[in-house]
Structure 1
Amino acid sequence: MESTAGRLTRKTAIISGAGSGIGAATAELFAREGASVVVTDKDGSSAASTAERIREEGGVAEPFTADVSDEAAVIELVAFTAQRFGGIDIVQNYASNRSLVPFDVAIAEADLSVWVQQLSVDLLGCVLTAKHALPHMVRAGSGSIVNVSSLGAWLSFESRPAYTTSKAAVIGLSKSLATEYGKQGIRCNVIAPGHIVSAGTENMYSDEQTEVMLDHVSAPRLGRPDDVALAALFLASPESSFINGQVIVVDGGMSAYAPMVPSFRRLAEAT
C-alpha cells in the first residue's frame, strides 16, 4: 500500500476494532503516516499483535483491551490515551459484533437480545468513544472522528436487520456530531464499505455468493481492507479539513447503478 509518509505526524489516534481486518489495516497505515496509535480491540491478543507489527516497522502503538459497549472501559481507554500521548486528535470506530451473524435473522424471529447486543457495539460504541474523546478535542480546538457504516444502511440485503439498522443509525449519529461540534473545529464523517475481503469476512459467504458480489462490482476485483484504510487516512488528514458530516462509500461502484445492470451485461455476453 503506497502512502505519503507524514500526513498524521504528531497526531494521536484511537482505533477501535483494530485487532484485525479494516481496523488493523487502518492502524498500520496511520502509524506509517506518523500517528501514535492506540490499537483497541475486545480481543486483547489481536490488539497486541497489531501493535507489535506497527512497532516492528518503527511506528508508535499501544494496545488496549476494551469492549466499546462498556462505558467504564471506554473511559479508561480515553484516559490512558490522553495520559500516554498528551491528547486525542483522531477517533476511528471499526468495532462490530460479528458473533451475532447467525442469530441476526428475520425481525419476527430474532431474539431481542440480538438487537441489544448489535446496537450496543455498532452504534453505542460510536456514541461512547465520541462522548469521552470530545472534551479533549474541544480543548484542542480540532479533531476528526470517523464512524464506519455499511452499504446495508440503505440497501437491504434481505438479512441481518439488526446490523443494517445499527449502521443506518451510525450515519444519523455522525451527522449530529458534525453539526454540534463543527464550529469547534471537530469533524465527523462516515465510511460505508461494500464487500471487503478480510479474515473476518472470508468465511461469511460461499464461493457462489462471492462470485455474485464480484458480478455486482464495477471494478475488476472485490475490496480489500487497505481500500477502506486509505479513505480513512484522507478523512483523518488535513486534506479533508472542509469535509464534515459526509458519507464516503468504498464499494467499487456496487451502489452506483440500477439493479438490472449485471443482468443486462450477461444478456449482452450471451448474444
Structure 2
Amino acid sequence: MEKNGGGVILTITSMAAENKNINMTSYASSKAAASHLVRNMAFDLGEKNIRVNGIAPGAILTDALKSVITPEIEQKMLQHTPIRRLGQPQDIANAALFLCSPAASWVSGQILTVSGGGVQELN
C-alpha cells in the first residue's frame, strides 16, 4: 500500500468491544483489542496515506444468528433497536463500501457502529 501511495485497511470488530455481555469475556476482549489496534494503526499509518477503520456490527441476520435465534430473542433485540429490524449482511457491505471509498477519504481511526441505532448488551 505504501508503495502505491496509500490505501485502506478495514476490520470487523464488534459492539461487544464496548459493551458488557455475560459469558463473552474472551470474545469481547479480543474485539476490544481489534478496535484499539484500528485506532493505533491509523495514527501510525496516516502519514503514509493509509487509512484504517473498523465496523462494529449489531445483530446481523446471518446463518449463524439464524441457527440460534428464537422469535422471543428476536423480539427482545428489536425492542432495543430503534430501526425495528435486524441487520442484513448487505448493511455491513454498504458501510464497508463507504469506508473504503473516496467519500471517506478523511475518515481514519474510526469504528463505525452499524446497528440500526441499537445497543447490544446480551444477558
TM value normalised by structure 1: 0.43
Identity over aligned pairs, percent: 38
3-state SS, counterpart of residue 223 of structure 1: coil
The residue that corresponds to 1:184 in the other structure is 48
Query: Residue 158 of structure 1: CA displacement?
Result: 1.1
3-state SS, counterpart of residue 138 of structure 1: coil
Equivalent of 1:250, from 100, 114, 121? 114
The residue that corresponds to 1:156 in the other structure is 20
Query: Residue 174 of structure 1: CA displacement?
Result: 0.6
Q: Write out aligned runs for 1:101-180 (5 A).
A: 137-180=1-44
The residue that corresponds to 1:194 in the other structure is 58
Greater radius of gyration (CA): 1
Equivalent position amino acid for 1:192 in 2: A
Inter-partner Cα distance in structure 2 for 1:253 and 1:167 = 20
The residue that corresponds to 1:79 in the other structure is none
Equivalent of 1:214, from 78, 95, 105? 78
Moved more, 154-163 or 244-253: 154-163
Inter-partner Cα distance in structure 2 for 1:184 and 1:222 = 38
Inter-partner Cα distance in structure 1 for 2:98 and 2:39 = 18
Equivalent position amino acid for 1:174 in 2: V
Inter-partner Cα distance in structure 2 for 1:210 and 1:166 = 25
The residue that corresponds to 2:95 in the other structure is 231
3-state SS, counterpart of residue 200 of structure 1: helix
Inter-partner Cα distance in structure 1 for 2:47 and 2:28 = 30
Query: Residue 211 of structure 1: CA displacement?
Result: 1.3
Equivalent position amino acid for 2:11 in 1: N
Equivalent position amino acid for 1:163 in 2: Y
Inter-partner Cα distance in structure 2 for 1:206 and 1:220 = 16
Inter-partner Cα distance in structure 2 for 1:159 and 1:216 = 20
Inter-partner Cα distance in structure 2 for 1:162 and 1:204 = 20
The 4+ residue runs of structure 1 with deviation greater than 4 A are: none
Query: Residue 220 of structure 1: CA displacement?
Result: 2.3
The residue that corresponds to 1:269 in the other structure is none
3-state SS, counterpart of residue 65 of structure 2: coil
3-state SS, counterpart of residue 82 of structure 2: coil
State the superposition RMSD in angstroms. 1.6
TM value normalised by structure 2: 0.92
The residue that corresponds to 1:74 in the other structure is none
Q: Which has the higher helix share?
A: 1
Equivalent position amino acid for 2:33 in 1: A
